[in-house]
Amino acid sequence: MLKKDIEPLRFGYEENLFRVLRAQLGPAISAMGNDKARLLLNARRESLLGDAVRVTADLLPQIHEAYQACLDIFGGDMSGDLFIQQSTEYNANVFGHGKTFDVLIHSALLKDFTLDEVSFVFGHELGHVVFEHSRFPVHDILSKAENISTDTADMMFRWARASEISADRVGLLCCGQLTPAVTALFKTASGLSGIDVERILRSFRMQYEELEKQIRERNDRFTWIRSHPMMPIRFKALELAALDIVALRQGSRGFSWKGFRTIDQQIASILEALDAL
């Protein structure tokens, strides 16, 4: 597959929040310096080599192949290993510095997710790398920097949530179809597998509508709604972008950046409405 220009896939709302945060925090604390990032990357790799298992083509051929296929989308200029660790949680994470990184995936995920769903997860993690999300470590900044207002802190969490939508788009680019992306989200949110995909789609759609209605009708400032309404929104963002991203992957003419920005704006407005609470 040809190298794709990934940057325009970044969620516009994420970009806007990042720009505002940079201006508020100043460049000195808004992004991690190169030396610190390299140190962290090395320390993490050391602990992964010590405590996790590195996935090679020899050990897990199919998984390794799926991982490589995702990497190939970026044209071969990214290098990073995949590690697996025993855990019952459906989780994965990554730390990247420039084009170097390591991905860690939990064993439960490899056991219970299909290969296409795992590809979505790989793509999602690699999305965090290409968009350089590790350069802006929210928890690290909040724990160390003083004089950060609650508004700014709040905006950092909004940015972190928005960055998940950018990463999901790369996930979709890697797995190449909406269904495994959605079932991967569903398994992560519910912990359940073996449910018919049509039921999953209906459930997500209804929950999204319910959430939208809730936001429209709200008349007070409950803080609980702020905490984690992301799954239905991530689903909606994927559903809206799916045709375009699949067309982009196939290099077809069906893709237009103009249409894509409209979709972007639609998702941004629902998040903005939530964030304004």
Residues that bind Zn ion (CB under 5 A): 164, 167
79-85 vs 100-106, strand pairing mode: parallel
The Cα–Cα gap between 27 and 147 comes to 15
The Cα–Cα gap between 243 and 132 comes to 25
The Cα–Cα gap between 158 and 37 comes to 23
Collapsing DSSP states into helix, strand and coil, what is residue 164?
helix
Collapsing DSSP states into helix, strand and coil, what is residue 255?
coil
Q: What is the DSSP letter of 135?
A: G
Contact criterion met (CB below 8 Å) for 137 and 96: no
Contact criterion met (CB below 8 Å) for 258 and 264: no
Task: Give the torsion sign (CA, 170, 175, 178, 180).
Answer: negative
The Cα–Cα gap between 180 and 113 comes to 9
User: Angle at which helices 257-275 and 230-249 pack, to 10 degrees?
Assistant: 170
Report residue 120 as tokens. Answer: 């979505």
